[in-house]
Amino acid sequence: MKIDIASFNEALNNSKTVILACSCTVRYSGRAESFLDEGDRIIIAKSDGTLLVHQPTGSTPVNYMKNASHQLTLQDGKLTLSSRSLADKEYLDIAISKVHYYNFSELADSQSIQLVGSERDMSDMIYSNPSLIAPDFRPLSREEHTKYGFIDVFGYDKNNTLVIIECKRYVADLKAVDQLMRYIKKIKQLKGLKQVRGIIASPKISPNALQMLLDHKLEWKKVSPPKYMERYDNDQKKLGEY
Amino acid sequence: MKIDIASFNEALNNSKTVILACSCTVRYSGRAESFLDEGDRIIIAKSDGTLLVHQPTGSTPVNYMKNASHQLTLQDGKLTLSSRSLADKEYLDIAISKVHYYNFSELADSQSIQLVGSERDMSDMIYSNPSLIAPDFRPLSREEHTKYGFIDVFGYDKNNTLVIIECKRYVADLKAVDQLMRYIKKIKQLKGLKQVRGIIASPKISPNALQMLLDHKLEWKKVSPPKYMERYDNDQKKLGEY
DNA sequence: GGGGAGAGATGCCGC
DNA sequence: GCGGCATTTCTCCCC
């Protein structure tokens, strides 16, 4: 397929979203260096300077650029799409041997995604329902970004011992234990406390992480992140059943 | 633009890569729940069951599916692209109000990317050039996946003290120190050693991470990941200058 | 802009 | 399959 270089570049420079399917090689230089030999790819160029190179399989782009400007050139019969981010010192060059098809249009989207079920939702839930941790647990605050560190929830147990809770939305791993231990060490140091309880709240925990927790006399409490929309949908279904 | 539902579904079911630009809403339910209100998006459906929903800005897909099967349906005048991954219990529905354009074709790509400058390349470099760490450093092995943990490089210094090196390709942070400390603790325990040196090798380190390192009598050595291709290019340029 | 941490993280490798 | 970990991580939030 023939490509109209002038109109293609005009689209790139006029806030259009450009799609190009082609056979090409890709060379990248920036934070690392990469080369991708000849093959068919889908290329997306967005108005914000994003450029994505997708192979026919896989969910992540094989190459990409951010905050870059792109230009299509034809020199000595070689068609090249170049992307440059001078600020980040990143360079990407696509040598195109065959254009399968391309398209572009002005796209408008002012919406942002609403998502439920994050770790933040989990700590909110625990704060509102402290009995999920223990019957006598009293959450004190949810100061994520304070001088004490970015702690998900902390409070006191029935013996007035300070409790630090680290939430994980899926499997808690060794890194989660590292994190909890680091927070506990810092809090002990800052508040001059001898004893602080540490709890990981997650639906699952890896065996090694659990072992490490127990080795350091820390605790695990099984808690799952909330999914309000799902509950809403289920409620709606139930209503419909009547 | 009108869409040919039968041929669209045939493309989805016959290993084609499908591109669709449209105005739509997106609902997802699976590991979490999400909703995205009306706006223009680019949708990519790959032959391996990947589905990506891209907004006109941003480098990451706003929604996505993996290992799913997709189907376009028209019911009561409502055009819907549904993606299902029964194995993962994930569901994504795109309600399409307007089709801007679409395209599909059989894409062939047997290449995989060659990348230089990773953490692995860095540990290889240190293993080959131990003087990057210290004049008398003797690397012993690069057993990344052993019972001792996934240690990048370890060896002995001039006093025959065991040295563990953790490489980071960019800024070493608190998590990197956590990791190094965990490895050291484990090695001390397994080998019954009293003293083990721990070194983070990275081009940069965050102030707090450096503080934490020094607090625990660990060390930082400034090392940058190699970029062979860049060097090759520079050599070529230099050659051209003569 | 840098630091810290989550993510529907993803992808890779090893067991 | 799970576990551990890097990633051109990306993204958000706060200082």
For residue B203, the model assigns a pLDDT of: 97
| Interatomic separation, CA of residue A171 and C1' of nucleotide C10, rounded (Å) | 16
CA end-to-end span of chain B: 58
CB B83 within 8 A of CB B65: yes
| Span B79-119, pLDDT tens digits | 999 999 999 999 999 999 999 999 999 999 999 999 999 99
A138 in the same domain as A85: no
Residues on chain B touching A110 (C-beta within 8 angstroms):
39
B202 in the same domain as B133: yes
| Span B61-82, pLDDT tens digits | 999 999 999 999 999 999 999 9
Grouped pLDDT means (10 residues each) for chain A, 242 residues: 96 96 97 97 98 98 98 97 96 98 98 95 94 94 73 94 96 97 94 96 97 97 82 43 36
A57 in the same domain as A132: no
The answer to the question of residue B215 being in a domain is yes
How many angstroms away from the CA of A55 is the closest CA of chain B?
A: 7
Check A35 against B225: CB less than 8 A apart.
Answer: no
- Measure CB to CB from residue A46 to each of B56, B178, B229 and give the nearest one: B56
B132 in the same domain as B215: yes
B100 in the same domain as B37: yes
Q: What is the CATH number of the domain that holds A149?
A: 3.40.1350.10
Q: Which domain holds residue A51?
A: 5-105
Residues on chain A touching B231 (C-beta within 8 angstroms):
none
The answer to the question of residue B61 being in a domain is yes
B137 in the same domain as B82: no
Which residue, chain included where needed, has tokens 């709890």?
Answer: A199
Residue that is last in its domain, among A78, A105, A132: A105
**Chain A nearest-CA residue for B44:** A42
A81 in the same domain as A155: no
Q: What is the CATH number of the domain that holds A100?
A: 2.70.180.20
What does the mean pLDDT of chain B come to? 93
pTM to 2 decimal places: 0.93
Interface test with B, best of A27, A42, A173 (most B CBs within 10 A): A42
The answer to the question of residue B86 being in a domain is yes
A131 in the same domain as A101: no
Higher pLDDT, B239 or B70: B70
The answer to the question of residue A238 being in a domain is no
Residues on chain B touching A181 (C-beta within 8 angstroms):
178
Q: Is the CB of B67 under 7 A from strand D?
A: no
Q: Is the CB of A120 under 7 A from strand C?
A: yes
The answer to the question of residue B236 being in a domain is no
For residue B195, the model assigns a pLDDT of: 96
B144 in the same domain as B95: no
Check B107 against A41: CB less than 8 A apart.
Answer: yes
- Measure CB to CB from residue B57 to each of A46, A52, A58 and give the nearest one: A46
Q: Which helix (H) or strand (E) holds B155?
A: strand B153-156
Residue A36 is which amino acid? Answer: L
Residue nearest to nucleotide D2 (CA to C1'): A206
Distance (Å, rounded) from C-alpha B46 to C-alpha A53?
Answer: 13
Residue in A154, A151, A200 with CA at minimum distance from that of residue A174: A200
For residue B240, the model assigns a pLDDT of: 36
**For chain A, how big is the Rg over CA atoms in Å?**
26
Hey, what are A66's tokens?
């951010």
The answer to the question of residue A45 being in a domain is yes
B144 in the same domain as B101: no
B217 in the same domain as B136: yes
Q: How many domains does chain A have?
A: 2
The answer to the question of residue A230 being in a domain is no
A47 in the same domain as A124: no
The answer to the question of residue A33 being in a domain is yes
